[in-house]
Amino acid sequence: PSLSEILNLHDFESIAKAVMPVKAWAYYSSAADDEITIRENHAAYHRIWFRPRILRDVTNVDFSSTILGHRTSMPIYITATALGKLGHPDGELILTRAAAQHGVIQMIPTLASCSFDELVDGARPGQVQFFQLYVNKDRGITKRIVQHAESRGIKGLFITVDAPQLGRREKDMRQKFEAEDPAEVSKAGKDLVDRSQGAARAISSFIDPGLNWADLQWFKSITKMPLILKGVQCWEDALEAYDQGMAGVVLSNHGGRQLDFSRSGVEILAECVEHLKEKRGLSFPNEKFQLFVDGGVRRATDVLKAVALGATAVGIGRPFLYAYSAYGPEGVDRALQILHDEFEMNMRLLGAPTIKDVLPEMVDASNLRSHIVAVP
Ligand code: FNR
């Protein structure tokens, strides 16, 4: 189908599946074990309903907002996904350019196919970029990576904390990772490549399972970048992150690729907002401690639900990979344009002229929790 026939972000997935090399499809689409969490990520949004307001002047709607103090045209960001060149020879650089064009922020992954410097050099002057960090067992290497990122102007360090070991993604494991080449792993992952069990296993053995709370103060001592923990999955850890002076957390289960039966980010969001309010008197969205969500976000309505519940912004991963794997850069351009159009229409229908008008009472999340969360 031509791009003009692509009407929503889901469409990219089915086209990508049909046209992508099997190995690349397996790596991008796979999730842990029985793939229950990946389904739940999107399904959770189906348990949240809107309570729109009427008769508000919505002639002009403005869905721009800020993330860590930086302007974004919509409350989304392009989250970090490894091995960008599996789907297209230009890899993550496509996302860098699309981010610039649409005024959104890209999070550069540690395991990008393009080199870090290539992605920073590929940005426009003043373009804000974040960096996702996998912490190496060798802290000397980690320190160098972090300080290099800061020196190149990275505005936020997202430390991935949900991957002490990579999850079992069986669809991916059935493919042998044969990439000698160029294309697929940049230097970060080259050292310890085990080619027998899929792309994910092949590139992940340097990650330190010993990473723990005591390390966070070390990170604060080596960088001034705001630190955000990516992969928080319960309010207790969000509270600890706040107490340790983090700038925020991403409530995420890594797109369902790590612990299967992890709950969805948006469900965790609701519990974090409740407990951080009760125990630390915080209200959200909050400038000093920002809550982000990712996983299964495919519609502007999903984003608006998370924003209503208190998220500063949400991360979107696979749809952009599918978009460029199927259609190249124009695919990502189209994906962002679709989101833009969806925001405009849905904010009108919601009766919210600006993002600040998207309030908790505009959603009914009373059935969000698929189980009862005990308050100790
Ligand atoms: C990821 N994700 C991820 N996260 C991370 O911290 N470091 C990484 O290297 C990767 N790599 C990666 C590769 C691929 C192919 C996918 C699909 C995901 C997780 C990612 O940042 C994010 O949490 C999810 O992708 C969000 O879910 P959706 O939007 O893909 O449903």
Cα-flanking dihedrals φ and ψ of residue 176, to 5°?
A: -80, 140
- Residue 60 CA to ligand 1 center (angstroms) comes to 34
Active site residue: 28, 134, 242, 322, which one?
134
Residue nearest to atom 12 of ligand 1 (CA): 81
- Residue 80 CA to ligand 1 center (angstroms) comes to 6
Q: Does the CB atom of residue 325 touch ligand 1 within 6 A? A: no
Q: How confident is the model at residue 198 (pLDDT cuts 50, 70, 90)?
A: confident
Q: Give the tens place of pLDDT for each residue, 94-113.
A: 999 999 999 999 999 999 99
Q: Give the tens place of pLDDT for each residue, 50-71.
A: 999 999 999 999 999 999 999 9
Cα-flanking dihedrals φ and ψ of residue 316, to 5°?
A: -125, 130
Q: Does the CB atom of residue 297 touch ligand 1 within 6 A? A: yes
Task: Give the nearest ligand 1 atom to 252 CA.
Answer: 23
CB 83 within 8 A of CB 184: yes
Q: Give the tens place of pLDDT for each residue, 237-270.
A: 999 999 999 999 999 999 999 999 999 999 999 9
Give the residue with greater pLDDT, 204 vs 291: 291
- Residue 195: the pLDDT is 56
Among this protein's residues, is 194 annotated catalytic?
no
Among this protein's residues, is 134 annotated catalytic?
yes
Token pair of 100 as six digits:
């610039």
Task: Choose among 145, 372, 134: nearest CA to 271.
Answer: 372
Q: What is the ipTM metric for this complex?
A: 0.99
Give the residue with greater pLDDT, 248 vs 172: 248
- Residue 13 CA to ligand 1 center (angstroms) comes to 15
Task: Give the nearest ligand 1 atom to 318 CA.
Answer: 30
- Average pLDDT of span 141-160: 98
pLDDT more than 70, % of the chain? 92
Active site residue: 11, 254, 322, 333, which one?
254
Q: Does the CB atom of residue 233 touch ligand 1 within 6 A? A: no
- Average pLDDT of span 334-359: 98
- Average pLDDT of span 175-189: 58
Name the β-bridge partners of 109.
Answer: none
Q: How confident is the model at residue 182 (pLDDT cuts 50, 70, 90)?
A: very low
Mutate which of 28, 39, 79, 92 for ligand 1 pocket (most atoms within 8 A of beta carbon): 79
Among this protein's residues, is 181 annotated catalytic?
no
Please give the span between the terminal C-alpha atoms of the chain, in angstroms, as a whole number.
53
Q: Give the tens place of pLDDT for each residue, 254-313.
A: 999 999 999 999 999 999 999 999 999 999 999 999 999 999 999 999 999 999 999 999
Encode 5-43: b = buried (16+ Cβ within 10 Å), e = exposed: ebeebebbbebbeeebeebbbbbbbbbbbebebbebbbe
- Average pLDDT of span 114-127: 98
pLDDT exceeds cutoff 50 at 192: no
Q: Does the CB atom of residue 160 touch ligand 1 within 6 A? A: yes
Task: Give the nearest ligand 1 atom to 298 CA.
Answer: 29
Q: Does the CB atom of residue 72 touch ligand 1 within 6 A? A: no
Residue nearest to atom 24 of ligand 1 (CA): 255
Active site residue: 77, 90, 102, 162, which one?
162
- Residue 200: the pLDDT is 72
pLDDT exceeds cutoff 80 at 187: no
Q: What is the mean pLDDT of the chain?
A: 93
pLDDT exceeds cutoff 50 at 39: yes
Q: How confident is the model at residue 199 (pLDDT cuts 50, 70, 90)?
A: confident
Q: Torsion angle, CA of 310/296/345/361, rounded to 10 degrees?
A: -30
